[in-house]
């Protein structure tokens, strides 16, 4: 389970406050990539923080509300157009930088999930592989990012029914791929992703 040791170590070095940063939405065929940055209050950390992928949707929603009430949070995103222009890795890094830039105060340290750091950050940063299993701040960011993106996809599902985005969050499930072939490509699909690209250019 994640703990607060990385944050405490940064505090000892005078690098407070610490922001945990994570993104969600690299793999889906549609929708934005969404990142969150979270500065937890060390004296008021919600119980049960964990990697968002290991929590039920109901538990994520509860923790989302608790984190939002007790911590400083910021959301950053990159649009489908930006993903297609930059590539998904660069768009993910840009979304994380936007999340950090949007915090109400500049962190003394950012703990970023993964093995790459965004460029031009306003503070020192560490890349933490499997960070959502190690750092409570990154776990909190993973929950905020996941719930935010799932809600975006549920809203888009009402606008474009039939693709099952409220269930699959835009990932390439059998249901989604079948709908893509039957209903076609929407403005929210990532044209640089192979299944979408292949449908668009299958007649050429």
pLDDT on residue 6? 98
Residue length of the chain = 204
CATH number at residue 63: 3.30.420.10
Over residues 18-30, the mean pLDDT reads 98
Report the alpha-carbon distance of residue 193 to residue 197 in Å, rounded. 6
Residue 146 has pLDDT above 70, yes or no: yes
pLDDT on residue 200? 87
Residue 164 falls inside a structural domain: no
Report the alpha-carbon distance of residue 195 to residue 152 in Å, rounded. 22
Residue 121 falls inside a structural domain: yes
Residue 53 falls inside a structural domain: yes
Residue 128 falls inside a structural domain: yes
The secondary structure of 137-202 as a DSSP string is HHHHHHHHHHHHHHHHHHHHHHHSTTS-HHHHTT---HHHHHHHHHH---TTB-TTSHHHHHHHTT
Residue 202 has pLDDT above 80, yes or no: no
| Tens-place pLDDT, residues 66-87 | 999 999 999 999 999 999 999 9
Which residues are registered as beta bridge partners of 33? Answer: 78
Cβ-Cβ contacts under 8 Å for 81 (sequence gap 6 or more): none
Over residues 21-30, the mean pLDDT reads 98
Claim: this prediction has a pTM higher than 0.85: yes
Supply angle C-alpha 53, 55, 60, rounded to 5. 105
138: containing domain: 5-159
The confidence band for 204, taking pLDDT boundaries of 50, 70 and 90, is: very low
Say how many domains are in the chain: 1
Residue 203 has pLDDT above 60, yes or no: no
């Amino acid at each position: 389970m994640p703990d607060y040791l990385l944050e405490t170590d940064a505090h000892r070095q005078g690098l407070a406050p610490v922001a945990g940063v994570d993104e969600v939405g690299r793999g889906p065929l549609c929708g934005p990539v969404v990142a969150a940055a979270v500065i937890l209050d060390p004296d008021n950390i919600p119980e049960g923080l964990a990697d968002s992928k290991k929590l039920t949707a109901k538990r994520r929603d509860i923790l989302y509300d608790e984190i939002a009430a007790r911590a400083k949070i910021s959301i950053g995103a990159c649009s489908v157009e930006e993903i297609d222009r930059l590539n998904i890795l660069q768009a993910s890094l840009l979304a994380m930088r936007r999340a950090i830039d949007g915090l109400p105060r500049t962190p003394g340290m950012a703990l970023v999930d993964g093995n790459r750091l965004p460029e031009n950050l306003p503070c020192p940063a560490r890349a933490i592989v499997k960070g959502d299993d190690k750092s409570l701040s990154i776990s909190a960011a993973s929950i905020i990012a996941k719930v935010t993106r799932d809600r975006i996809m549920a809203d888009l599902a009402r606008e474009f029914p039939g693709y099952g985005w409220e269930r699959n969050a835009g990932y390439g499930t059998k249901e989604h791929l079948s709908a893509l072939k039957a209903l076609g490509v929407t403005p929210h699909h990532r044209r640089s992703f192979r299944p979408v690209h292949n449908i668009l250019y299958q007649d050429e």
